[in-house]
Amino acid sequence: MARQASSWILLLVLMNTPVGNGQSVEMDPEISGFVGSTVELSCRFLNSKNPVKISQVTWQKFFNGTKQNVAIANPALGVSLLPAFKDRVTFKHLSMSQTDSSLEDTTIVLSNLRLSDEAAYICEYTTFPAGNRENMVNLTVYARPTTHMTLTTPIIIARAQKHKMTVATCLSANGKPPSVIKWDTKLKGQATFQETRNPNGTVTIRSNYEIVPSRESHRQKLTCIVTYNSEHFSDSVILNVQYEPEVKIEGFDGNWYLDRQDVKLTCEADANPAVTGYHWKLSNGSLPKNVEIRNNTLLFKGPVTYDFSGTYICDATNSIGTRSGLVEVNVTEFPNHVIHRVDNGQEQPISSAAIWGGVVSGVVVLIIGVVLLIYFLRRRQRTFKGDYSTKKHVYGNGYSKAGSVPAHPTVPKNLQYPDDSDDEKKATQISGPGAFEGTERDFDGNSEDLKRPYFTVDEGESHDYDERTLAFQYEPESEIADDMVSQTDGSVISKKEWYV
Ligand SMILES: *[C@@H]1O[C@H](CO)[C@@H](O)[C@H](O)[C@H]1NC(C)=O
Ligand SMILES: *[C@@H]1O[C@H](CO)[C@@H](O)[C@H](O)[C@H]1NC(C)=O
Ligand SMILES: *[C@@H]1O[C@H](CO)[C@@H](O)[C@H](O)[C@H]1NC(C)=O
Ligand SMILES: *[C@@H]1O[C@H](CO)[C@@H](O)[C@H](O)[C@H]1NC(C)=O
Ligand SMILES: *[C@@H]1O[C@H](CO)[C@@H](O)[C@H](O)[C@H]1NC(C)=O
Ligand SMILES: *[C@@H]1O[C@H](CO)[C@@H](O)[C@H](O)[C@H]1NC(C)=O
């Protein structure tokens, strides 16, 4: 039961229909309109019981605690509109003259809405015998703001002393309810907001956008977005920022060598407004005789000479100011090929190609060496007679000096003679650790080779090429001389061993 009752109350509240012994007055829960528009304030008498007599209907405006009559309808006397509302209020279903018409629906139409119309409106039925029945509607009046953005000055000047300035103002005037202003831009800056409440209930929002004007802010877009009642308005400006020239000198590639032709320097300036004049000078002395100044370009006539060296300065001037760029030119005797080459504006080490070429040719040489080694090994296996006492030549692998092509086929590393031969022991000791230290700098870091810097081979086989090989072997003459004795046939024996 309680639940049913509460449902009823809820329904009645929703319909804004106060209950009174079966008679009620039905109105809209609320109504709103913009300034200048027309609204209908509906009012209907509902009667579910015995017929009652409607004696009079009175519309009242209720504002700031006071009630003011708006319109009265009487079944016998007709309709009366109070002077303040005479021009703008009409009964929707009743005419001024008509009497005896039904007063069941006393909806009024309010045109040309004003902000001052915002109030609560009461529709009151005077009946017999039931007494008074009334209801109320709140009328809200909205005012659409006028919105616009203005640039503070058409031209903004970026000064050297960087201070903040307002560049644009976004205004949303006399809105009700108030609008919200936001800024959309890539510019770095701050927005300030100011809110003014007008006596008529509207609100004016003003927002300034402040930046420190700079070269970077030129041509930037600044957009103001005003949100009013979930509607969005936006307005954009493109900034025109004037700044003094930003100067750099192009044309010197660090490679001005004697007799080079057609060199020039160009003064590149970024400026707003455009540069009106360029002035070239040399920091120490006067410009070389054979240069021609053509607007922002310095053309050097004839081949490069040492006279071209110096610090060149270009002054570029526009209406905002003058700024300089400078380049230090030095002239070299020869082209500067090794370090850098300018390629598509990017510097690339030229040496990388050379390195790769070197690597490739090194690999080719290595392959040839391996092939020859295999060939040599096969041949040797066929011809070796196994006479270990034959006099042996000793040669290190000095031939493997970096970058040099082996002068003869590589000897197999594993071709060690068995330890049972005295000669072999000597040979091993001769070239033991320390004996050839001086030659280490010639090795290209191959530790395998360092450990075994020599090979012994059959005399007959090595005959053809051992002389050349040994030339490398004995390079560090002085070091060998201390404890080595050269044999006439080119082999080496340690002095120690020799004298034992
Ligand atoms: C509301 O009423 C008070 C006093 O009753 C008055 O001082 C005030 O000005 C009124 N406000 C408006 C907006 O009429
Ligand atoms: C109408 O406005 C008055 C104050 O202006 C408020 O107290 C009341 O709740 C409002 N009624 C409705 C139905 O919004
Ligand atoms: C509200 O007041 C402001 C300033 O007093 C005025 O400019 C504006 O037109 C007024 N708005 C309306 C809708 O009367
Ligand atoms: C210019 O160069 C000359 C010679 O190098 C030097 O003696 C002189 O001091 C320089 N003058 C200036 C202003 O740099
Ligand atoms: C120099 O600049 C002016 C204007 O910018 C142009 O009319 C003239 O042709 C230029 N002169 C040369 C030699 O480039
Ligand atoms: C020439 O100038 C460049 C930089 O401008 C500098 O790196 C270079 O060392 C200079 N060479 C000589 C020979 O002064």
Q: Which sequence spans correspond to the domains of the chain?
A: 2-142, 146-239, 244-335, 339-372, 383-403+450-500
284 lines ligand 4 (CB under 6 A): yes
Q: Are 76 and 94 in contact (CB under 8 A)?
A: no
Residue with CA closest to ligand 4 atom 4 = 284
174 lines ligand 3 (CB under 6 A): yes
Average pLDDT over the chain reads 76
30 lines ligand 2 (CB under 6 A): yes
Q: Which residue has the higher pLDDT, 204 or 383?
A: 204
Span 244-335 CATH architecture: Sandwich (2.60)
**How far, in Å, is the centroid of ligand 6 from the Cα of 279?**
25
**How far, in Å, is the centroid of ligand 4 from the Cα of 283?**
9
Does this model's pTM top 0.75? My answer is: no
Q: Which range, of 3-7, 157-161, 384-388, 456-460, averages the lowest pLDDT?
A: 456-460
pLDDT in tens, 262-278: 999 999 999 999 999 99
Span 146-239 CATH architecture: Sandwich (2.60)
Question: From CA 497, how far away is CA 426, in angstroms rounded?
Answer: 7
Confidence of residue 376 (pLDDT cuts 50, 70, 90): low
Nearest Cα residue to 214 out of 193, 243, 189: 243
pLDDT in tens, 473-494: 333 334 444 444 444 444 444 4
Confidence of residue 289 (pLDDT cuts 50, 70, 90): confident
Listed in sequence order, the residues at least 6 apart from 321 whose beta carbon sits closer than 8 Å to its beta carbon are 160, 244, 245
Mean pLDDT confidence for 227-253: 94
Nearest Cα residue to 154 out of 245, 239, 221: 239
Residue with CA closest to ligand 6 atom 12 = 330
Mean pLDDT confidence for 431-442: 37
2-142 belongs to CATH 2.20.28.10: no
**How far, in Å, is the centroid of ligand 5 from the Cα of 333?**
34
The pLDDT of residue 450 is 39
| Torsions phi, psi for 467 (to 5 deg) | -65, -45
Question: From CA 231, how far away is CA 250, in angstroms rounded?
Answer: 53
pLDDT in tens, 23-68: 899 999 999 999 999 999 999 999 887 788 999 999 999 999 999 9
Residue with CA closest to ligand 5 atom 13 = 294
Residue with CA closest to ligand 3 atom 9 = 174
**How far, in Å, is the centroid of ligand 6 from the Cα of 331?**
9
Q: Which amino acid is at 418?
A: P
> Among all ligands shown, which has an atom nearest to the Cα of 175?
3
259 lines ligand 2 (CB under 6 A): no
Q: Is there a common fold for 146-239 and 244-335?
A: yes
Tokens representing 303 are 């081949």
